[in-house]
Amino acid sequence: MKDKKKKISPRTIILILIVIVIILINIFVYRFAMDVIVLFLLLLAFIFKEQKNFIKEWSIPIILFYLYEFLRGKAYVIAQWLNRPIYNEILVATEKKLFAIQGEIPTVFLQYSMSNINSGNFLPHWYDYVFFFFYISFFWFWLVVAFVIWRKSKDMFKRYMYGLVGFSLFDTLIYILFPSAPPWYAAQTGILPPLQRIMLSHDYLTVKYQALVSTYGNNDFAAWPSHHAAWPFFACLFLVGVFGKKAIPFFIIPLVIVFATWYGAEHYIIDSIAGFAIAGITYWIVMKVGRKK
C-alpha cells in the first residue's frame, strides 16, 4: 500500500504567499516596512480567525512602540534644549582601550580590511549583501517573533512586548541625557579615519527607506545602547524561553546584525554590549514578574 501524499492546506499556501509578498514589498516597494509588516500580521490573524484578539492584545504595545519611535526621533532635540553634550571622543577612547586591533578600533580595522574603501571603485562585495539582509532584519525580526510567541502563549507575548517596548522607552531617557555618536560621525569630525556607512551607502534595494515613524524625524545620536543588538537578542531569549534549546541557533541573527553594524560604522562594540545587557536584564525582570514561586 502506497503512502498517501500529504496535501498542502489552503491556509499554508496563503501563509507562504504572504511571506513572499512581504519579501517582495520590502525589496521593491517599501524598504524596512514595519508598518506593512504590522498590517500583514493583522492579515495573518484574520486567517487564523483571531483578528479580535489581535486588535485587543496588540494595539496598546504597538501604540507604545510608535510613541517610542516618536520620542527617539525627538530625543536629540530635547538634548539640545537641555544643553547636553554629544558623547563622541569618550566612546572612541573606550572602544580603542577595550577592543583595539592593530591600534585601531574594530570598525576601522574591518572597513579597511574587508571593504573597498581605499579604492576608487567603492562597490559592495557579495558578503555586503548578506550583512545588509541581516541588518534590515532588525526592523522586522522582533515583530515576527512577537507573532510566533503570541500564537504560542499569550502570557509570554505580554511579557515580550511590554518588556521590549518598556526598555526602549527607558532608553530614550539615555538618548536625551547622554546623546551618543556612532563611528561614522566620529570619522566626520576627524577623530577616526574616513569611514563609509556601508549598510546605507549602496543601492542594495531599488527603493529608499519609508515608514510612518520616519515622518517624525531621525536621530543620529542614539547609538548607546544599541537597539540593533537589544531587540533581536531579546527576541532570541524569548524564543529559547518559549521553545527551548532548539531555538538557540536563532542567536546567530543578533550576532550577525551587530557585526554588520560594526563593519558598517553604525555602532561600536560597546554600544552592542550595552544593548545585550539591557535586553538580558529586562528579560530577567519580566520573567520574574507575576511568577509563582
Mean pLDDT of the chain: 86
Whether cis (ω within 30° of 0) applies to the bond prior to 193 is no
Q: Give how far Cα 34 sits from Cα of 40, 88, 124, 139, Å.
A: 10, 30, 26, 6
Question: Between 256 and 219, whose confidence is greater?
Answer: 256
pLDDT at 220 over 80: yes
pLDDT bracket for residue 5 (50, 70, 90): low
pLDDT at 22 over 70: no
Q: Which residues have C-beta within 8 Å of that of residue 50, sequence separation ≥ 6?
A: none
pLDDT at 1 over 50: no
Q: How many residues does the chain have?
A: 293
Q: Which of 232, 75, 50 is nearest to 152 (CA)?
A: 50
pLDDT at 96 over 50: yes
What nine digits make up the cell of 209? 527607506
**What stretches of 47-195 adopt beta strand conformation (E)?**
none
pLDDT at 107 over 90: yes
Q: What is the mean pLDDT of residues 213-218?
A: 57
102 C-beta neighbours (distance < 10 Å), count = 8
- Identify the pLDDT of residue 10: 72
pLDDT at 122 over 90: no
The rounded distance, in Å, linking the Cα atoms of 285 and 273 is 18
Question: Between 16 and 181, whose confidence is greater?
Answer: 181
Answer for the pair 141, 160: CB distance below 8 angstroms, yes or no: no
Question: Residue 279, SS3?
Answer: helix
- Identify the pLDDT of residue 171: 97
- Identify the pLDDT of residue 247: 95
What nine digits make up the cell of 78? 530635547
pLDDT at 206 over 80: no
| Tens digit of each residue's pLDDT (9 = 90 or more) over 25-65 | 655 655 555 677 777 788 778 877 888 888 899 999 999 99
pLDDT bracket for residue 118 (50, 70, 90): confident
- Identify the pLDDT of residue 207: 47
Q: What is the mean pLDDT of residues 230-234?
A: 97
Question: Between 138 and 64, whose confidence is greater?
Answer: 64
Question: Residue 51, SS3?
Answer: helix
Percent of the chain with pLDDT over 90: 60
- Identify the pLDDT of residue 31: 53
Q: What is the mean pLDDT of residues 16-29?
A: 64
| Tens digit of each residue's pLDDT (9 = 90 or more) over 260-289 | 999 999 999 999 999 999 999 999 999 988
104's enclosing H/E stretch is none
pLDDT at 106 over 60: yes
283's enclosing H/E stretch is helix 269-288
Answer for the pair 271, 226: CB distance below 8 angstroms, yes or no: yes
